Homo-oligomer: A and B are copies of this chain.
Amino acid sequence: MSDGTPVPSVLLGASGWIGQHFSRLLADHPYFAPPVLTGAKSAGRTLEQVWQLSDLPVPAALADRRLERLSAAQIAQRGLRVAFSALPSDEAGPMETELARRGVSVFSNASSHRMDPRVPLVVPEVNGDHLKLLGAPRRRAAGGQTRRGFIVTNSNCSTAGLVLPVAPLLGLLRPRAVHVATYQALSGAGFPGVPSLAIGDNLLPFIRDEEEKMSTETGKILGRVAGGRVHPLELPVSAQCVRVATREGHLEAITLVLPSSLRVTPEEIVDAWESYRPLSADPGAGGGLPTAPERPVIYRPEEDRPQPLRDRWAGRPERARGMAVSVGRLRVAPGTMRFFSLSHNAVRGGAGGSVLNAELAYRQGYLG
């Protein structure tokens, strides 16, 4: 573990939607120093000048910081040991690889490396143990000069809202298949993203590559590590993804197909969700991470929840707002159970996911 000095960091792609959520979370973080900001097109402008999250305040500590145009070499030379990446996929691939090669540890929201079987794709509560793909922490801590960088990715935004409530049920329900229909917020497409004329009074039943990501990423996250790579869980996930005109918060209508012989009560399912505390159960493995919510899955008993407007910022303590997934409208029938899930796509399903990954890596000694 670290000596307590905040780790110098860089935020790649600070002018985008996810980048700006990163900036909120990192402006005043106990493990990481306020990040250097990069942005190709907006270099020279301050964070305040490029701020797009209209309903959230610009973080005071970074408001006047100017975005820079930095190469991987420059980042490494400036001693920025951790990079948070909100780059678009086409830029993220080579940049992140180059940063890792130069000894920088990358926590990325980009999809470029997510399905590389040697790159951890991590939702800490679910598969924090996948970090062992990075090797033994101790050896890494031994000498700065031999330190190698690595890449750890968070999941796609819609995947996060699926695996978090499904993971606690795997043992109880042994599902055979998952059907999911999504109601995805505008910010999932970034800024400028979806034209107002395309989505006003409308729905767009297509998000490129999204359905495939929900399927393959879920398998990988729920898989197990062996022989230096991830072996995905075999669980068919069939998704139907739709863009809707909400700002933030992805709603998902989830159906699990169960073994026909299974008998389960709603109470057992609710109990599995409410007692799900994988991080706090093992503090040494991550308990008490600053951005981890006390309860990662919150069950709402009301007849009309969860809703984006009411539930997207779920999560305590204050630093973990937007990191909890809210579930509700649970119904159990012979052979199936179904429910709704609501998660903040840009926090739990984006910037917050990678910040939590970085906190876990920090606590486990991978940044030592």
Chain A interfacial positions (CB closer than 8 Å to B): 17, 52, 54-55, 177, 179, 181, 183, 186-187, 191-206, 236, 238, 240, 242, 244-247, 251, 253, 255, 257, 303-310, 328-329, 331, 333, 335-336, 338, 340
Contact A238 B183 (CB under 8 A): no
- Asked if residues A205 and B240 are in contact (CB atoms below 8 Å), the reply is no
Q: How far is the CA of A195 from the CA of B45 in the complex (A)?
A: 21
Q: Are B200 and A247 in contact (CB under 8 A)?
A: yes
Given A197-B52, A197-B247, A255-B179, residue A203 in contact with residue B338 (CB < 8 A)? no
Please state if A195 and B191 are interface contacts (CB–CB under 8 Å).
yes
Copies in the complex: 4
- A-B residue pairs, 5 tightest by C-beta: A181-B181, A192-B195, A206-B304, A181-B253, A240-B253
- CA gap between A42 and B194 in the complex, in Å: 20
- Residues in B whose Cβ lies below 8 Å from that of A309: 54-55, 201-202
Contacts of A242 in B (CB 8 A): 183, 251, 253
CB distance from A335 to the nearest CB of B (A): 8
A121, chain B: closest CB distance, angstroms? 23
- Contacting residues, chain B, for A245 (C-beta < 8 A): 196, 200-201, 244-245
Asked whether A192 lies within 8 Å of B183 as measured between CB atoms, the reply is no
A213 to chain B, nearest CB (A): 15
